[in-house]
Amino acid sequence: MAVLDLRRKLAILSDAAKYDASCASSGTSRRDSRGGKGVGSSGPGMGICHAYAPDGRCISLLKILLTNYCIYDCAYCVNRVSSNVPRARFTVQEVVDLTLNFYKRNYIEGLFLSSGIIRSGDYTMEEMVRVVRALRLDRDFRGYIHLKLIPEASPALTAEAALYADRVSINIELPRDDSLARLAPDKDVAGIRRTMGEVRLGIDERSEKGRRVRAPRFAPAGQSTQMIVGADEAADGEILARSETLYGAYRLRRVYYSAFSPIPDATARLPLQRPPMMREHRLYQADWLLRFYGFSRDELIGRAENLDLAIDPKLAWALRHRDRFPVDVNRADREMLLRTPGLGVRTVDRLLAMRRQRRLRLEDVRRLCGGVGKVTPFIVAADWSPLALADAEHPVAPEPRQLSLF
């Protein structure tokens, strides 16, 4: 076998990591190297490889696999053991050097590290822990680290990984347990849940109020997971029901949704085409409503139903509950304002603050929203009252079209 140089390894293993979407860099504790100690820094924000933090910064993570060799044969994975793809493997020292050199050149602000399974879950997890241990303890790296856990690894390795990483994640893979057993027979659903539970217990133990001794940091940015959308027959309602359970049972920070992408030499058990990207987008919108807008899954969609691809879930809910609209922006409570199409969390909080000073007019709403085309059919202001919604099928502005000259 030909020996690969570092650049070729990086090309193979960064490309192999692109299918994992769950690599946000939000929620961690703040660290930096001011004072002449340590290397790197971590700051508040959110980002996936190249994304933007709330303060406008672009956040970049070195997103790689330790290796794309894998002893598992998951039907939906391009790196499965039966797949005919180029293989590569980093050494521990190569990952450490890449991370530090990329950081010092201002290419990245942190590391996202995952891996295929080599030899066993324990062996693979131990290699990954060696990477983050070397970065934190030997090189005093203070940037962001997201580590993908191996569910089959021992609890001791899981706990040690969480001591060094800002965020950890364990992919649930598919929304149905029977689909995972059929398409990924080497995966253990019970093991995935057990590992998620261990991480939650570790986080809870170290965040207990009233502790006299400060506990060591333990995955301060929490844990996340990812589900593949469209690889099986699960409806959007089933997917969101699984997400709702995961958020409640394991207090996950995020559930990521990744539209299934057909892979070379795929089994006949998988679909031939990928689902519409809009389906993935609608799931993220619905997930946001579950986490920040006070909706429950059964309010948005039935378990066996799919989300409407033509309109967003919040607007779809409003159209099904026209009797609750329009709402008076000067009198409605926060919960109802959050359920109003066109009003986001920040806008609602600003409206509530402003209306303590004076009655709100449509122009006030326009300034806070940046536009009122979507919200005007659903609100009443001091100088505005919309037409009745009863006969309006879709009370939104029509799409612009070019007028004919003849």
How many other CB atoms are found less than 10 A from the CB of residue 140?
12
For 115-133, how does the pLDDT look when each residue is reduced to its tens digit (9 = 90+)? 999 999 999 999 999 999 9
Q: Which residue's structure tokens are 């997930």?
A: 287
- Residue 137 DSSP label: I
How high is the pLDDT of residue 172? 92
Question: Looking at the structure, do residues 354 and 237 belong to the same domain, yes or no?
Answer: no
Q: What is the CATH number of the domain that holds 55?
A: 3.20.20.70
Residue 99, domain extent: 6-207+215-300
Question: Looking at the structure, do residues 197 and 83 belong to the same domain, yes or no?
Answer: yes
Question: Looking at the structure, do residues 146 and 46 belong to the same domain, yes or no?
Answer: yes
Question: Looking at the structure, do residues 220 and 333 belong to the same domain, yes or no?
Answer: no
Tally of domains in the chain: 2
How many other CB atoms are found less than 10 A from the CB of residue 20?
19
Question: Looking at the structure, do residues 290 and 336 belong to the same domain, yes or no?
Answer: no
Asked, for residue 305, whether it belongs to a domain, the answer is no
- Average pLDDT of span 172-177: 93
How high is the pLDDT of residue 211? 60
Question: Looking at the structure, do residues 195 and 337 belong to the same domain, yes or no?
Answer: no
Asked, for residue 252, whether it belongs to a domain, the answer is yes
Question: Looking at the structure, do residues 166 and 45 belong to the same domain, yes or no?
Answer: yes
Asked, for residue 75, whether it belongs to a domain, the answer is yes
For 206-247, how does the pLDDT look when each residue is reduced to its tens digit (9 = 90+)? 877 666 555 568 999 899 999 999 999 999 999 999 999 999
Distance CA 110, CA 28 (A): 12
Distance CA 236, CA 249 (A): 20
Asked, for residue 167, whether it belongs to a domain, the answer is yes
Question: Looking at the structure, do residues 288 and 341 belong to the same domain, yes or no?
Answer: no
Of 3-17, 31-45, 387-401, which has the strongest mean pLDDT? Answer: 3-17
Question: 69 in helix, strand or coil?
Answer: coil
Question: Looking at the structure, do residues 71 and 117 belong to the same domain, yes or no?
Answer: yes
How high is the pLDDT of residue 264? 72
Residue pair 368/351 in contact by the 8 Å Cβ criterion: yes
What percent of the chain lies above the pLDDT cut of 70?
83
Residue pair 374/396 in contact by the 8 Å Cβ criterion: yes
Question: Looking at the structure, do residues 49 and 197 belong to the same domain, yes or no?
Answer: yes
How high is the pLDDT of residue 209? 66
- This prediction has a pTM of 0.83
Residue pair 162/194 in contact by the 8 Å Cβ criterion: no
Distance of CA 38 to the CA centre of its chain: 29
For 126-159, how does the pLDDT look when each residue is reduced to its tens digit (9 = 90+)? 999 999 999 999 999 988 899 999 999 999 999 9
Q: For the stretch 223-247, what's the b/e string if a residue is b when 16 or more beta carbons lie within 10 angstroms of its beta carbon?
A: bbbbbbbbbbebbbbbbbbbbbebb
Stronger pLDDT, 92 or 43, i.e. the higher one: 92
Asked, for residue 400, whether it belongs to a domain, the answer is no
Give Cα separations from 190 to 87, 193, 244, 322, 336 (angstroms): 30, 5, 18, 43, 39
User: What confidence category does residue 372 fall into, taking pLDDT thresholds of 50, 70 and 90?
Assistant: confident
Question: Looking at the structure, do residues 95 and 125 belong to the same domain, yes or no?
Answer: yes
Asked, for residue 339, whether it belongs to a domain, the answer is yes
Question: Looking at the structure, do residues 289 and 345 belong to the same domain, yes or no?
Answer: no
**pLDDT over 70 at 403, yes or no:** no
- Per 3-state DSSP, what percentage of the chain is helix, strand, and coil (rounded to 5)? 35, 10, 50
